[in-house]
Structure formats: structure tokens, C-alpha cells
Amino acid sequence: MHFLDQAKIYIRSGGGGPGAVSFRREKYVEYGGPDGGDGGKGADIVFEAVAGLNTLIDFRYTQHFKAPRGGHGMGKDRKGAQGKDLVIKVPVGTQIIADDEDRDTVLADLTEAGQRVVLFEGGLGGRGNASYKTSTNRAPRQHQPGLPGQEAYVWLRLKLLADVGLVGLPNAGKSTFINQLTNTHAKVGAYPFTTLHPQLGVVRHKNREFVLADIPGLIAGAADGAGIGDRFLGHIERCRVLIHLIDIAGTDPAEAMQVVEEELAAYGEGLDEKPRLIVLNKIDLADTELAAGFAAELQEAGAEQVFAISGATGAGMDALLDAVISHLPAATATERPQGEQEEVDQEPWSPL
């Protein structure tokens, strides 16, 4: 399945149905009077977060969503049927953003499976002529058309929900690392940017489990959009702890650590305040003395503790995973019971 984390769509709620102009006509009833019913309310636009989706790819092919209008009022005081709400299903972690110049107005943030948000309400139905009857106006012919629905373009932005985020420069061995711990089957290659989109996997360790997110390698200027790194960093905003993977075979591990740390700080959103575990990867390619020397350099550069591991062989993984679990809550995203979520109490948004 292709990964897509941004999509622009058009949405329109249903217009209200028009009221009816009708008069009672029955045998032996001389003065039947008006009996035109009101129109039905138009359908709402509802967004629902559902489990099992992790991409917005469906919105590349379906970009227009129009809810049905309410039914016409009818004679015999029959009210028009209400339009059936249009429910748009999105992955958990999807933000709905106004299509303004900066695209920074978040209208809704769907962070739990089952969460529902009414973004646009349908238009109210028009009044039928029966509602205009008064003591002085016994045969009104007035009626109202239904109120129109609301329409606008909005952006959908997916920010993956994971407990732990995996960051590092390109070719730091992140794909091999996540493959060692999960069944993700991420593509592995001996060249930079093997990973082109975020990957998710579930890690199980000592009767605990958590979701691990691997984002493509970061480069200098990522926070400002270089290599679309700003979009990648958005996927780890919700993580509780970050694993910073550093290639022991790289030119300068201390410099590599500094580049990523600067990008986390430049991006903001609290990324530089999250707990980070500095990990020296690919120790199977170096002797013990060299690994110890690089670990010392990383600590001199600011790392509180350095974990030496091999993503290929699994060496050193247990100590690292123990440290990860110590930073996680009592129940992670996958460990919480799957209960039904209540609808969000939120005022519908108006584009006007």
C-alpha cells in the first residue's frame, strides 16, 4: 500500500429540503386549510478515526465529498426526511486543517479510534405553508427553501501515532534496526534514503509492547523542509521517547549526533524536550576499543548515556529496550483496551 500523509479534499454538507405548499382536500371537508410539511435537515459531514488505516492514499483518488440534502416537505403535514450523514473515515492521528495561506489552523485532531467530529452541519429544512397559518391568514401560500449546506476545501494531515520514534542520518541502519525488532520488512540498502516514507512496527519485550516509528533519514536543514524533513519530523511529534541511531562506520559520530539534535531543536513542537536514547549502531563492523572510543566522544558531545548495539545481529538490544520501556507509561497505545470512544463535543466549524 502506498503511503500518503497529506491530502486536500472538498467537502459540502447537505442543503435543507424545501417546505411544501399544500392544502387539505377531502370530500365533505369544506375548509381543509394548509397542510404543507417542513423540509428535512441536510446531512452533516462527519469525520471518524478508524483503526487499521495508516495512509491517506484513498483521498488521492476521491477528493470531493458531498452529503445528501434533506427531503422535500409534503402534503398532509409530512416532514421531509433528514439527509443521511456522510461519514468520512480517516486514520487515527489525522488532523483536519483549514485551507488558508499558512495551513496552520487545526480544525480537528483525531487521536483515538472511534473518535468522531462533525465538521459541517447540514442546512435546516424550509418551513411548509402549514406553519404560516394564523388567525388572519387562513390559506398561506408562503414556504421556505431549505438553507444551503456549508462547503470548503480542507487539508488532511496524518501524524502517525507511535510510542517510540527512530531518528538518525540517512544510512544509519534504521531499517535494519526496525526489521530486527518487528515484522515490518522495511527495505534495506547500502545507500542513503533507502527508506522513503515512515514505517510502523510493534515491538514486544518482556511482556510489554509498543509501537515504533521509523522515519526517513534527516539531513541538515530538515526542519526547514530540506528533503521534506519537516513532514517526516511531524510523524514523531506524538512519540514519548526518541531513539537516535548513529552509524559507527560514519565519518564522525559526534558530528552526526549534533546535526540531528540541531534539527530536532529547530523544528520545535517539543521534539528537543523528549527523552532521547543515543544509540551507536553497527558495532559488528568495529572492534570493542573503537566502539568504546566513539561512545566516549558522544558523551563528551552531550549524550548522557550511549547504547552500543548491532541492528543486524541484535547485540545489545535487550539493554536498549529495557531503557525504552522505562520511559513509557503503564499502558502504551497497543496495550490499552479497545473500547468504543465517545463522540467529541466540538462545535462544527464554519468556513465563513
310 is in an annotated binding site: yes
35 is in an annotated binding site: no
329 is in an annotated binding site: no
217 is in an annotated binding site: yes
195 is in an annotated binding site: yes
Q: Are 87 and 31 in contact (CB under 8 A)?
A: no
Q: Are 165 and 213 in contact (CB under 8 A)?
A: yes
Of the candidates 205, 194, 201, the one whose C-alpha atom is nearest the C-alpha of residue 320 is 205
197 is in an annotated binding site: yes
320 is in an annotated binding site: no
175 is in an annotated binding site: yes
41 is in an annotated binding site: no
Tally the residues of the chain.
Answer: 352
77 is in an annotated binding site: no
Bridge-based pairing of strands 151-158 and 94-98 is antiparallel
351 is in an annotated binding site: no
171 is in an annotated binding site: yes
5 is in an annotated binding site: no
169 is in an annotated binding site: yes
What whole-number distance in Å separates Cα of residue 347 and Cα of residue 349?
6
What whole-number distance in Å separates Cα of residue 167 and Cα of residue 190?
17
User: From the centroid of its chain, how far is CA 58?
Assistant: 14
170 is in an annotated binding site: yes
Q: Which residues pair with 279 in a beta bridge?
A: 245, 307
311 is in an annotated binding site: yes
215 is in an annotated binding site: yes
216 is in an annotated binding site: yes
Q: Which residues pair with 202 in a beta bridge?
A: 211
282 is in an annotated binding site: yes
265 is in an annotated binding site: no
- Binding site feature residues for GTP: 168-175, 193-197, 214-217, 281-284, 310-312
Binding-site residues for Mg(2+): 175, 195
Binding-site residues, please?
A: 168-175, 193-197, 214-217, 281-284, 310-312
